[in-house]
Structure 1
Amino acid sequence: MSNQQISGQVVAGKMSRSKEIAVVAFLIAIGAVLRMFSPAILGITPNFIIAMYCLAIVLLRPSIGPALGIGIVAGAVSMIFSKSPIPYLNLATEPSGALACALLAAYLPEISIKNYSFKPAIATFIGTLVSGGLYVVLNFQIALQLPVTAMQAAFIGVVIPVALINMVIAQALYLPVKNFLFRS
């Protein structure tokens, strides 16, 4: 789906493929640096990589294939900067989160107040829940074989707060980044 096909959601005008790749790479790199140097807040480290790839997806509105590619790259980068015990699980979880975000960016009806879209917040929140939820299930049920109560506690105590933080980050950055990228 090109930017020109999305009436009023992303500014009219087509971005070159190389510029789209640069935007994705830049945002994921920013997320990686922030993740690497951010301290834990009440035991939770925000996952800026997810926030940034969701922001890229909401801005660029890639089709399913490129969205999965963004997720795979984000998963590989997440492995390097992971603070989790089983970092390679990111290769499954990040593409899943990217796919969920891309589907919401493409098919969720516009939710806005006076042309201020809340789609970035919703898509990022759900994308983070999918990624984090899958990570918790894979980590706790398959790898560590811990009880369901531990999985539920991790989801409520870590995944939901991280999803809320990512939602705020993506929403706050959406309009300034969109205006910068798509200025006439």
Structure 2
Amino acid sequence: MPENNNAPRTFVSSAQDKAGKLDVASLVLLAVLMAAGFVLNITVGKALAITGIQPEFVISAYCLAILILRPSLPQSVLIGVLAATVIQLTTSVPGLEYLCDIPGGAIMFLFAQAVARRGSAGVLPLAGAFVTTTVSGLIFATVATVVVLGAAPSSVVAMLPVVFGTALANCVIVQVLYLPLKKAAKR
């Protein structure tokens, strides 16, 4: 006869156990971050556009998702594809975001791996979001200016303040939100 043990069953899971695994809770967090990024883009982002610096909240959202969830490289790239798909609803150049956010997902993956190796984040979320947004912005500015508008490559220089301003805004957002969201997600 089986032994009647009334002790509660427990399962202890660490953030290390969850790395590279996108379970339902991870997908819900990703969806919430993407939705929040989209809503902030069409409200706050558009309001801030008059300053010339428009945070790209969807990029901030996928940077946070990759840092918190620590997906694999293919999953990080897929998160970049999902972000680009969300941005399609508001972008000025449809399709271009895919060229920007696929490498962005891969870059953020490298920073998430660095956070995992160090065991603490420090300023890596800030640096990762800055580099990711800068690369994404430079790709967007270059392709939009040279290919879509047919302007001279030197015209991209005029876009640099917007690219770096957006990167600065995004990196501050990611750095400020990383630890509270990580704790809330129990990662």
TM range (shorter): 0.7 to 0.9
Give the match for residue 50 of structure 1: 59
Q: Distance in 2 between matches of 1:146 and 1:27?
A: 35
Give the match for residue 159 of structure 1: 163
User: Of 81, 90, 99, which aligns to 2:97?
Assistant: 90
Unaligned runs of 5+ in 1: 5-10
Superposition deviation, residue 44 in structure 1: 2.7
Provide closer, same or farther for how the CA distance between residues 152 and 90 of structure 1 changes in structure 2, counting only shifts above 3 A: same
Q: Distance in 1 between matches of 2:142 and 2:158?
A: 12
User: Of 142, 151, 165, which aligns to 1:137?
Assistant: 142
Q: Distance in 2 between matches of 1:76 and 1:116?
A: 28
Give the match for residue 7 of structure 1: none
Q: Is 1:172 aligned to 2:176, yes or no?
A: yes
Letter in 2 for 1:139: A
User: Of 6, 16, 33, which aligns to 1:27?
Assistant: 33
Unaligned runs of 5+ in 2: 1-12
Give the match for residue 80 of structure 2: 71
User: Of 92, 105, 114, which aligns to 2:112?
Assistant: 105
- SS of the counterpart of 1:117? coil
Provide closer, same or farther for how the CA distance between residues 16 and 153 of structure 1 changes in structure 2, counting only shifts above 3 A: closer
Provide closer, same or farther for how the CA distance between residues 58 and 16 of structure 1 changes in structure 2, counting only shifts above 3 A: closer
Superposition deviation, residue 136 in structure 1: 1.1
Letter in 2 for 1:146: A
Q: Distance in 2 between matches of 1:131 and 1:164?
A: 13
**Which stretches of structure 1, 4 residues or longer, exceed 4 Å deviation after superposition?**
108-112
Superposition deviation, residue 97 in structure 1: 1.0
Sequence identity (%): 32
- Give the TM-score of the pair, scaled to structure 2: 0.82
Give the count of matched residue pairs.
170
Letter in 1 for 2:71: P
**In angstroms, what is the RMSD of aligned CA positions?**
2.2
Provide closer, same or farther for how the CA distance between residues 110 and 64 of structure 1 changes in structure 2, counting only shifts above 3 A: closer
- SS of the counterpart of 1:80? coil
Q: Is 1:127 aligned to 2:132, yes or no?
A: yes
Provide closer, same or farther for how the CA distance between residues 34 and 118 of structure 1 changes in structure 2, counting only shifts above 3 A: same
